[in-house]
Structure 1
């Protein structure tokens, strides 16, 4: 179980990374905001990179688990569940959008394309026309964009419209 201090460091770092970018956030800013010393921060995280990885890792684990455990089936339910997953990790997505270098952590760029291919196969099957593949890319990418663009709205407002638009793009 992570310590409260470790969790608080991650929360403050995530907030600063989202608002001002990873490269523009110093460990001094994080420690000052928390009222702890830099050595206390270094006790929990060896570097800013280590801290970023610790924030990104839960999203990676959740998406890996999602694509590994899902079975083909109800496409609309899969879209709803996928939206909830990306909504839960929208701050990490915001970090990536704000600063593309975050994609380098844990090889996210390559992983994200793999996840998308696997989710598309779950949604529509392995044999797709080019047009189906393009529509699925628009559907999933659009939902991801909504999780960032409308991150400050209640999920109850964003999810139904985003899932409906994704389903329409897929022809469901």
Structure 2
């Protein structure tokens, strides 16, 4: 049930709005957000600027729409997590689902990593911080010791770091993702065992 980059792109290829998003993200990655114009996006798509304008009036609209589409699973995860008990199983499931959500949104997170100044200026920067706070609130047990709360939060950041740092490691994308996920699950398991006397 792994989400692959190719699978994600194939699902998104059919619709014009999604094609615009994907091509814009490719161009932003190649030459940077600031140096990419709507005209260049239209040319790469082989459509008129007016056709592009029908869907998006600015580059920011494209990025915001991509962010909203690709991070919807994260919003859904936070909503699900708010109604779950603070059990080990819940925390492990949060980490698993978040790993899949990150894999599905990998091109967007790469853009955010490589364009941090731009992201801070766009409203997606604040929205992403809100999502991270939401994840923090559902993965930590407020009664846990501080070190265990840090372990749970670190599990989320392990998934982030793994996405950007593991490109140079051996194995295919899915094998690397599973290895990073294993480490993140170990962190929440260790935190839970420490808080609940090794349970």
Give the TM interval when normalised to the shorter protein: 0.7 to 0.9
Q: Which one is further off, 14-23 or 83-92? A: 14-23
Deviation at 1:39, TM superposition (A): 1.9
Q: 2:114 aligns with which of 98, 106, 111?
A: 98
- For 1:129-140, what aligned pairs fall within 5 Å after superposition? 129-140=145-156
| Aligned equivalents of 1:148, 1:82: Cα separation in 2 | 15
| Aligned equivalents of 1:140, 1:102: Cα separation in 2 | 20
Deviation at 1:68, TM superposition (A): 0.6
Compute the TM-score of the two structures, normalised by the length of structure 2: 0.73
- For 1:11-50, what aligned pairs fall within 5 Å after superposition? 11-50=22-61
Deviation at 1:149, TM superposition (A): 3.4
| Aligned equivalents of 2:100, 2:34: Cα separation in 1 | 29
Gaps of 5+ in 1: none
Give the number of the structure whose alpha-carbon radius of gyration is greater.
2
Q: In the comparison of the two structures, how many residue pairs are matched?
A: 169
Q: 2:163 aligns with which of 118, 140, 147?
A: 147
Deviation at 1:161, TM superposition (A): 0.9
Deviation at 1:96, TM superposition (A): 0.7
- For 1:56-75, what aligned pairs fall within 5 Å after superposition? 56-70=67-81, 71-72=84-85, 73=87, 74=89, 75=91
Deviation at 1:18, TM superposition (A): 2.7
Q: 1:161 aligns with which of 164, 179, 188?
A: 179
Is contact 1:90-1:148 (8 Å) kept? no
Gaps of 5+ in 2: 1-13, 192-199
Partner of 1:10: 21
Deviation at 1:46, TM superposition (A): 0.9
Q: 2:144 aligns with which of 106, 128, 131?
A: 128
Q: For 2:96, what is the secondary structure of its paired residue? A: helix
| Aligned equivalents of 2:15, 2:136: Cα separation in 1 | 38
* CA RMSD in angstroms, aligned pairs only: 2.4
Could you say if the C-alpha distance between residues 124 and 43 of structure 1 is closer, same or farther in structure 2, counting changes exceeding 3 Å?
closer
| Aligned equivalents of 1:56, 1:123: Cα separation in 2 | 22
Deviation at 1:135, TM superposition (A): 2.1
